[in-house]
Amino acid sequence: MAFSEYQADRIRQRLSHANLTEEKKMMGGLIFMVNDKMCIGIDIDKNTGQNRLMVRVGKAQHDQLVFKKGSRDMDFTGRVMRGFLFINSEGFDSEGDLDFWIEKALYFNRQIS
């Protein structure tokens, strides 16, 4: 499992106010479960060697957010997984950018039951 512990700690700090129920090592990285649902993850992009986020934003927000800095379609399986985005490091290196993506993931997490 390849992921940055530093980046994982940045995410943990931001999820401390949310109902973080579990951390799972899966999909080659670390996935944070909030309210027992996949919310956000961190791994290392095998092609670039850079950190990247996996953010679950839902299908309704997907088409708007895919154009944000550092964002692209999640194609982990070779096919686009609508509702999920990969964010490369330029899109979440700043504290404000990471806060933005955490907020989007938590917003969607609250919408699903």
Domains parsed from the chain with CATH numbers: 5-111 (3.90.1150.30)
DSSP 112: -
Residue type, 6: Y
Mind giving me the DSSP string for 39-82? EEEEEE-TTT--EEEEEE--HHHHHHHTTSTTEEE--TTSS--T
Give ∠ CA 14-17-20 in degrees, rounded to 5. Answer: 85
| CB-CB contact of 48 with 88 (8 Å) | yes
Angle in degrees, 0-180, between the axes of helices 95-111 and 5-15, rounded to the nearest 10: 60
For residue range 15-62, list pLDDT tens digits in order: 988 988 899 998 789 999 999 999 999 999 988 999 999 999 999 999
For residue range 73-106, list pLDDT tens digits in order: 998 778 999 999 999 999 999 999 999 999 999 9
